[in-house]
Amino acid sequence: MMILRPIQQSDYPALLKIAHESGHGFTSLPNNEELLQSKIERSEASFKKETDVPFDEGYLFVLEDTETGEVVGTSAIEAAVGLDDAFYHYHLSKVIHSSRTLNVYKAVDILTLCNDYTGATELCTLFLKEGHRRGFNGKLLSKSRFMFIKQHQQRFADTVIAEMRGVSDDNGQSPFWQWLEEHFFSMDFPTADYLTGIGQKVFIAELMPKYPIYVNLLSDEAQEVIGQVHDNTRPAIELLKSEGFTFNGYVDIFDAGPTVEAKVDNIRTVRSSSFRTVSIGDNPGGSPVMIANDKLEGYRATVAELQIDDNTDTVVISAELANALNLVDGDKVSIATI
């Protein structure tokens, strides 16, 4: 059985392996042992913290195969970005150059450095090991976060965003960054990405161009990847689009990958999930659904085949499933379509 749960200190070796495997461009999980340890500590503190206002909390989850004990993936939620450190994007928009005298009218794309998503909740650190990218694992790893947000909505902002990994090659070279490096920086993309991941963002404010960049002045290769995702990221962005997330012109400042956004109340899983009361007994089977307990530190979620009756607020689950989710008779659970 695959169970999503909060990370704990004993998961550090597994998190380190995932950081190695995730490769370049995975900014939120840099290959830095000290930082990974601090991420686990921060997550544990966040789950224990009593708050009703989103601030600097970071909730890091792992997906565990209970049969083998192996941690096969991670996902996370940042409660509110940019409150203690600047959160940068480029915004893609247009300016018009026109002259009635010369009968010239031309719309030109520009990129403007901004901090427009300050205070938003961010979905991040989604990674599933290659051998486990099958069945419902990816959906559980991603969508169960929406159930957690709904259960503890006071801990999160009204706007939720997700930065999608942009285009780069196997060596971590980004066409967009190569243009920026040539004109404004003297470091390669993996180095810039790593520095951002470990929180050293001062160089962005110091070296990034302060004025809008005309897109048609970029190299053809850089122009082509603006708003495009890495091949490995396509399933993730398609899933988010199906949940109601949209691209509104904001891209990453390093690889120009798109950032998508949605209002919490418009997210499909948030709208469609329902609360049920647990009854432990013989599970008659049914259709696969996501099921999660309503706990904070003890949060657990999985996919199970359950019979959902719209005429009752009770759901019957097996003793095995109840044990896996830390449930007893009468507990409340969230149910959502997978």
Catalytic machinery residues: 230
Residue type, 70: E
Report d(CA 327, CA 325) in Å as an integer.
6
User: 314-317 and 274-280 as β-strands: parallel, antiparallel, unpaired?
Assistant: parallel
62 CA to centre of own chain: 13
Torsion of CA 249, 254, 255, 261, to 10 degrees: -30
